[in-house]
Amino acid sequence: MLTMLPRCVLTLCHVLVLVLCLSAAEDFDWTKNDRGSFYYGSFPTGFSWGAGSSAYQTEGAWDKDGKGISIWDVFSHKKGKVAFNDTGDSSCDGYYKVKEDIALMKDLKLNHYRFSISWPRIIPTGIKSDHINERGLKYYDNLIDLLLENKITPIVTLYHWDLPQVLQEKYGGWQNISMVNYFNDYANLCFERFGNRVKYWITFNNPWSIAVEGYETGEHAPGLRLKGTGAYRAAHNMIKAHAKVWHTYDTQWRNKQKGFIGISLSGDWGEPVDLTNQKDIEAAERYVQFYLGWFATPLFHGDYPQVMKDYIGRKSAQQGLGSSRLPTFSPQEKSYIKGTCDFLGIGHFTTRYITQKNFPANRGNSYFTDRDLAELVDPRWPDPGSEWLYSVPWGFRRLLNFVKTQYGNPMIYITENGVSEKMMCTELCDDWRIQYYKDYINEMLKAIKDGVNVKGYTAWSLLDKFEWDEGYSERFGLYYVDFRNKNKPRYPKASVHYYKRIISSNGFPNQREVESWKRKATETCSSSNQLLAAGQYSSAQAFRLCLCVSDPLTSHMEMVTEIVVPTVCTLCILLSAVFLMFLLRRRN
């Protein structure tokens, strides 16, 4: 009996420790926001540096070599859906420039390259039993082999928004539960053909955007506006599809291939407007839970965030609905979904201030009004030109620490982080991008110092590319792509040289050296600027091209000069002629 007592006490202690750990995992300190000075130091040994892209945004060759039609092929071909009616038909011609682009990656000294496989390129209708396109498989075989030959690890996204159009027309896309099995068949084919060489798989890229912008607002393909229901249903089916693919890999391929399955979730940070106001704190947490938590919480804890269930359920009841517009998981589904994330990919770009705002239920169904909050920005935050992307580096560290506390400090790969500019000119000296990368990567280093388990970083993006509904008017690339030239040449921006130095140093060694990086990077970009301008345009043409898109006021002035003024002059001449004829008739 005496020997049993210590064992019981020990067991009780273990239980108490476990309970304390679990409770701590749910506790994020909203009132503590350390915005300290720049931190000089190195990343852990083996930290992986990379850059990213996606199939539809870079490959082009939209109807070549047996590729099927995607929802983005159809969407972008409809007038008025994309800025300037741009399409991804040819984009960067990445399909034909694999060797050239891998040479750029090698020059950057990348450890990994994140790209996506186009589902309709390898299964044209999206239904495996219909037809498998061997030429599509061969393209990705070649890409993966060349990456590995150059000692660059492939990180492969299975779904980066380009759903086969047939599945949209036949079943309604992600609104339909049948997508779970079709997606699993497609993923299984990829594991079978590429899994002996690919060890890092991402099921979905930013499912928030697929659900909200594809099925709620209609800004993205397939362009549906199923307000208050469409986004929740699409998300529900994607979560189930992710879980099924994870289990397929776990049971059929993991022992042989030794790989990892994760998901890439985008999340802007939400900071309370007033840290002393509990309602603002609750609104900020709600913002993050409705964004990143919508997908992360089911995968780590088995169900939707409680705040989503509460708010959407209450709004649904107030609207006279018999059940919540947020779908529910059965007990079996909860246990099946929980724990299906070997690593968490995080795409992060910016931050918002959040405050409480009540939306009455009679305002109608909407994901946005369900949250009862308002988003604000600080006018002092740097804004490179894209109306949604403000540079707020400290928000990155906050988000990473939130993930650590909420989900038990999972293994994290930063799958997207970068900044765009609204211009299509020859300016390669992107000092704002250098500053953005410097500050955001440093905040990630601070988060690692905080104990966050970040294993790798992916700059977004390697190349300028088709930027969804913004077309080619918004550029994220480290490399400038001249889309007006049929050969689509690539030119390094200053940020290429800066990022290369971060990679070579595995961090920020000391103040003096880091300050010299920017100076050296901008020295190299000016000669590239001259080369690009001289090679493609006369200096006058290059100057005009730089003005015509980067500055909305200049664009407006050009429109006035080239369209409005001639039209007004013509009308004046016509009116003068009519008036003269009238005078002559009166005189006669």
Q: Which of 24, 92, 109, 175 shows the shortest CA–CA distance to 486?
A: 92
β-sheet bridge partners, residue 154: 113
C-alpha count within 13 angstroms, C-beta hemisphere, residue 475:
27
Is residue 188 in some structural domain? yes
Is residue 162 in some structural domain? yes
Is residue 565 in some structural domain? no
Distance CA 184, CA 159 (A): 11
Q: How confident is the model at residue 426, as a pLDDT?
A: 60
Distance CA 403, CA 418 (A): 20
Which residues does the annotation mark as catalytic? 416
Tokens of 346: 């995080």
Is residue 187 in some structural domain? yes
Q: Tell me how crowded residue 98 is: count the other CB atoms within 10 A of its CB.
A: 17
Q: Tell me how crowded residue 502 is: count the other CB atoms within 10 A of its CB.
A: 21
Rounded to 10°, the helix 179-194/230-252 angle is: 40
Is residue 377 in some structural domain? yes
Q: Which of 248, 265, 270 shows the shortest CA–CA distance to 257?
A: 248
SS3 195: coil
Q: How confident is the model at residue 27, as a pLDDT?
A: 80
The alpha helices in 289-418, defined as continuous H runs, are 294-301, 306-318, 331-337, 367-370, 393-406
Distance CA 453, CA 459 (A): 18
Q: How confident is the model at residue 55, as a pLDDT?
A: 98
Say if strands 507-508 and 269-272 run parallel, antiparallel, or are unpaired.
unpaired
Q: How confident is the model at residue 197, as a pLDDT?
A: 98
Q: How confident is the model at residue 7, as a pLDDT?
A: 43
Q: How confident is the model at residue 215, as a pLDDT?
A: 98
Distance CA 523, CA 402 (A): 39
- Residue 327 CA, chain-centre distance (Å), reads 25
List average pLDDT for each run of 10 residues in the chain, which is 588 residues long: 39 38 60 88 98 98 98 98 98 98 98 98 98 98 98 98 98 98 98 98 98 98 98 98 98 98 97 96 98 98 98 96 97 98 98 96 90 96 84 97 98 97 74 96 98 98 97 95 94 96 98 94 77 54 37 33 44 67 62
Distance CA 546, CA 474 (A): 13
Residue 172, domain extent: 44-421+432-484
Residues 6+ apart with CB under 8 A from 433: 384, 418, 419, 421, 493, 494, 495
- CA distance between the termini of the chain: 132
Is residue 26 in some structural domain? no
Q: How confident is the model at residue 536, as a pLDDT?
A: 55
- Torsion sign across C-alpha atoms 62, 200, 340, 291: negative
Q: How confident is the model at residue 573, as a pLDDT?
A: 66
Distance CA 356, CA 286 (A): 10
Distance CA 407, CA 400 (A): 11
Q: In what order do the strands lie in the sheet with 373-376?
A: 269-272, 351-356, 373-376
Q: How confident is the model at residue 522, as a pLDDT?
A: 85
Distance CA 569, CA 576 (A): 10
Is residue 111 in some structural domain? yes
3-state secondary structure 471-534: CCCCECCCEEECCCCCCCCEEECHHHHHHHHHHHHCEECCHHHHHHHHHHHHHHHHHHHHHHHH
- Buried-state track 446-483, b at ≥16 Cβ within 10 A, e below 16: bbbeeebbbebbbbbbbbbbbbbbbbbbbbbbbbbbbb
Is residue 145 in some structural domain? yes
* Total domain count, the chain: 1
Question: Which CATH number does the domain housing residue 192 bear?
Answer: 3.20.20.80
